[in-house]
Chains A and B, each alone.
Chain A
Amino acid sequence: MRCESNAHPDPRSPDIAAVTAALGTPLAQILALLCAWIAIGAVGLVRPASLKIAGRTLFPLGAVCGVAIAAIAAAHLAQPPERMELVIGLPALPMHLRLDALSATFLVLLGAASAGISLFGAGYFRVGQGTAPGLLCFEYHLFLASMGFVLLADDAYAFMVAWETMALSSYFLVTSQHRIGEIRRAGFLYLLMAHLGALAILLCFGVLQGGSWRFTFDAMRAAHLSAGWAAAAFLLALAGFGAKAGLVPLHVWLPEAHPAAPSPVSALMSGVMLKIAIYGMLRVAFDLLHGLPGWWGLVPVALGLFSALYGIVFAAAQTDMKRLLAYSSIENVGILFTGIGLAMVFHGAAMPAVAALALIAVLYHALNHAFMKSLLFLGTGSVLHSTGERNLGRLGGLIHRMPWVAWLTLVGVLAIAGLPPLNGFVSEWLLLQAFLHAHEVPYPFVDMLLPLGAGLVALVAALAGYVMVKFYGVVFLGQPRESTLATAHDAGRMERAGLAWLALGCVALGLLPATIVPALGQVASSLGVGALPAGGGSWWMLAPLGPRSISYAPPIFAGTVIAGVLLTVFAVRLTYRRPVRRAPPWTCGGDALTGRTQDTAEGFGQPIRHLFTPWFAMRRSLPTPFDTAPRYSVEIGDRIWRALYEPLAGWVDRGAEVCAVFQRGRISTYLLYALATLCLLLALVL
């Protein structure tokens, strides 16, 4: 292990000095913690069937590691980049590692969000018919560590190794209930898309090295690409990282894989892994790739806006709660890509402050989404555990049975709906403020078209509110739709702790943007995108574009609302002291209310289905008036799947059939092939 920075010579013993010096740097500390994750996982392998070791000890330990990583990375945000070379792997091809502001930001995200998920996981995993808890623990921590390595990698080789490890470990996590055929299918689709994406990323690195044939990121930074090659690299990166992040039309694996995985894994994939893909996109677009005209940013803007709308519209029509959240992830990924594209456009148009604002909006939203989406996925996990139901049509009224889960999930719901003073609003606000300057870009047509994107972002945010009311209202409010729900129990202590940690993160990110935004500004300035003007605001007031301009002060804002609530309660109590009487609700003169008289998830999605009819491939069966047990069913299909993927699959099948001609299954035929190849090669070489 060689360390290039902060090496203090120690006279006593060179070996110990090297080790202590190496451990003294944040990069080495983080590396050690990542290795600790792997070690924790490996311990789980010792007794794979033991839930006690894996659940009660190892997962909380993993959470502690996560917090430590987040703390170290957060402290390193403002520091200059730090490098290291690991002499492992192929000879003469060491792995380069680097910790800079961008990777530190995402390490904070990884550590902090995974801490909550690990805590939750400690109470969540059970011994079942699927993968044993110890093995699951290994895969889980390997997944975490590989994501950390992706963030630290500073050459294409290390990046791809870590990236593939991430894909494989998450594949095994997704298919932990591998006895169910549907889940195996979802896992296969995920693996397929992950590898297609990885192929695109590999090709992208191949283009980025620019003829130097050195695959360190430093060589790529120094490379000069022509505009055409730069565009090719960018599009490859967009395809590769877009496939991993779930950008439409490469999103098809996401609504299949996320519901299939166990909830903590869904949370980890949706909350953290998608952000790793965003990190990759940011790394390529703002760090490695040079010489790309700024207007190329319009491609991610367009794709992102479409993804956002597509995702949220489909989320509104879902009846499976985890699938709904998966589609909502597509929406958020769309918003992230919109921000990335916007930052590129502004960067290309030499508007540094606004470009930095857009980039900060992306980073902030990534952080936010990691917390709130994990929180929601874990909430569904608790519901799934205690009721065994994922279908919204069989849930309801759980706020009475599971108050902890319900109230903590409410925080996530309000946050993801983009409501102040929680965190979802902050990134939305930043993005809209960036959009406000979109008319100043010096490209004709774009300067008028781009501001319209703000309207679309607003529509998506408002639709997210709609979807979240549906999600929360149908799962937790109203009357139970099944009698079995009466036995539902609240989450255990560890699960509550995990949920509370993430909810706390949502609140903190919502109330303290004025401290976090300047920290994220370090990333923008270290990438050379631009810097926010100094001197705006204080710890409670966010004023990113300088004083006497836009401002938002969430602590005051929240304080005003809370003070308003308290004052109102106080005033009402002062004037009015009558008791509250309970009575059965009004039933319009009919029989008593049952779970079936209230609106269903399908019903709640109906306005959206009506408004966006052409988007859906819908199959509906309506009951006739004479049905004794009327059942309404609607099946929502994805048009992109039918229009793009099914023909593609058909072609692949046909191609495979053609190839099958050569595959006879007889040994002598294969030997003949080998002989022919050998002869051909000999003829060519000699």
Chain B
Amino acid sequence: MRPIDWLTQVLEVVAALAVAPLFQGWVSQCRAWLQNRRAPPLWQSYRGIRKLFHKDAVIATNASPLFRVAPYVVFATMLAAAAVIPSMGTRLPFSPAADAIALVGLFATARMFLALAAMDVGTPFGTLGARREMMVGFLAEPALLMVIFVAALTSSTTALPAIAERLATGPITLSPSLAFTGVAFTMVLLAENGRLPIDNPSTHLELTMIHEAMLLEYSARHLALMEFASALKLMNYACIGFALFVPWGTATGAEGPFALAAAIPALAAKLVVAGAALALIETASAKLRVFRAPEFLAAAFLFAVLGMLVHLLLGA
């Protein structure tokens, strides 16, 4: 391990921490523009988190320690995921610790803790949200895994850095299987992050929400951590997408500090474009009924499977 790799590692985690709320803010700003509304300032998410950190924490009388531990666990898993995903460089010291499958497992851990914490107090909304979140989760996970499988087939490894490196250094080809899996991944991203066709991040209408329903009992710093974690999750998903489909610009292999210096603006540019695209998708789609969510995610799974089959047939 060279010192530059460690520097990349530290930089990545710090960047994820610093930029994740900004990215969320950027998406909501784009959404506001697209919907002809006055946009909230970019740093609105920071303000929200800061405000929450200054409030008194109130928790339910019958909340167990699990309820209080969960925000820290969820936040830490998201942070660990950020450390593993190659968003700036592919030679991360931490990345051999977890491949893409372990990353999926990491997200599943966070989801499980979130759902268990939501069930802890025993309010109807908490359990409802937990149930729906787990439903979306068990439908999205196979699709996500198939996406990773297709990417892994091309490079015969499930290590994200290797996948990104292979795609970034290889010749640019038009690959229908990657296009299919890209669509599948986008659909999974929307579902897993509580974005529009599945869940509406900006609503508090009880009967339709999923993610917010699980957080109803949280307040102050616990809520701040949960919100921060969900911003990190969105950012992490975006970075996984970059690594799988558009790794160009990431510092690969044995390149020096210049590559790293170039990787930072590249990542920023990708995030800007991805955020705008996300806002566009969300604006163009309407919320699905909860029981249409399986169809949506089945379509994502189908896309991924078709991607795999086409890859096996065409070899591209």
Contacts and interface: CB of A to CB of B under 8 A. Distances in A.
Do any CB atoms of chain A lie under 8 A from CB atoms of chain B in the complex? yes
A26 interface: no
B146 A454 contact: yes
B257 interface: no
Contact of A584 (B61, B115, B135, B308): B61
A480 B63 CA distance: 13
A454 to B, nearest CB: 6
A598 interface: yes
Interface stretch (B39-47, B106-114, B245-253, B259-267): B106-114
Interface string A589-632: 00001010111000110110011000000000000000000000
A160 B305 CA distance: 45
Interface string A310-332: 00000000000000000000000
A284 to B, nearest CB: 31
Interface in B268-316: 291, 294, 301, 304-305, 308-309, 312
Interface in B108-132: 108-109, 111-112, 115-116, 119-128, 130-132
Contacts of A465: 108, 111-112, 134, 137-138
Contacts of A468: 112
Given A414-B109, A561-B80, A565-B72, A399 B66 contact: yes
Interface string B139-158: 10110011001001100111
B123 A581 contact: no
A473 B130 contact: yes
A570 B31 CA distance: 36
Q: Is the interface of B mostly helix, strand, loop or mixed?
A: helix
B59 interface: yes
B138 A462 contact: yes
Given A473-B115, A473-B116, A553-B96, A582 B102 contact: no
B216 interface: yes
Interface in B47-61: 53-61
A564 B159 CA distance: 22
A478 interface: yes
A458 B146 contact: yes
B205 interface: no
- Size category of the binding interface on chain A: 35 or more
Nearest to A598: B122
Contacts of B309: 448
A562 B79 CA distance: 11
A455 interface: yes
Interface in A473-507: 473-474, 477-479
A586 B77 contact: no
Given A478-B127, A585-B61, A552 B291 contact: no
A563 B157 CA distance: 28
Most central of B76, B101, B138, B139 by chain A CB within 10 Å: B138
B98 A439 contact: no
Contacts of B76: 561-565, 567-568
A463 B134 CA distance: 8
A399 B108 CA distance: 22
B225 A572 contact: yes
A432 interface: yes
A556 interface: yes
Nearest to A436: B152
A603 B135 CA distance: 13
Q: Which of B55, B66, B220 has the most CB of A within 10 A?
A: B66
Nearest to B128: A599
Given A469-B112, A550-B159, A595-B122, A455 B146 contact: yes
A548 B74 CA distance: 30
Contacts of A550: 99, 157-159
A474 B131 CA distance: 11
A599 B214 CA distance: 13
B174 interface: no
Contacts of B141: 458-459, 461-462
Given A552-B97, A569-B72, A429 B61 contact: no
A644 B181 CA distance: 41
Nearest to B69: A565
Interface stretch (A8-16, A100-108, A228-236, A418-426): A418-426
A432 B101 contact: yes
A472 interface: yes
B157 A581 contact: no
Contacts of A593: 122-123
Nearest to A578: B56
Contact of B56 (A436, A581, A611): A581
Interface string A528-563: 000000000000010100000111110011001111
Contacts of A578: 55-57, 220
Contacts of B206: 588
Given A459-B141, A551-B159, A568 B72 contact: yes
B64 A552 contact: no
A343 interface: no
Contacts of B97: 541, 551-553, 556-557, 560
A447 B312 contact: yes
Contacts of B58: 580-583
Interface string B83-108: 10000000000101111011001101
A479 B217 CA distance: 14
A419 B99 contact: no
B123 A586 contact: yes
Contact of B77 (A433, A455, A561): A561
A369 B59 CA distance: 36
A477 B137 contact: no
Nearest to B64: A399
B79 A564 contact: yes
A604 B138 CA distance: 14
A404 interface: no
A549 B308 CA distance: 21
A552 B72 contact: no
A214 interface: no
B78 to A, nearest CB: 9
Interface string A275-289: 000000000000000
Considering the complex of A and B, which 3 residue pairs feature the smallest CB-CB distances, nearest first? A564-B76, A478-B122, A599-B127
Interface of B: 53-64, 66, 68, 72-73, 75-77, 79-80, 83, 94, 96-99, 101-102, 105-106, 108-109, 111-112, 115-116, 119-128, 130-132, 134-135, 137-139, 141-142, 145-146, 149, 152-153, 156-159, 206, 216-217, 220-221, 225, 291, 294, 301, 304-305, 308-309, 312
12 contacts: A417-B108, A420-B106, A425-B105, A455-B149, A478-B122, A552-B97, A552-B102, A568-B76, A572-B72, A576-B221, A598-B123, A610-B291
Given A581-B56, A582-B60, A595-B122, 9 more contacts: A455-B304, A458-B146, A462-B142, A541-B96, A553-B98, A572-B53, A584-B60, A599-B127, A607-B132
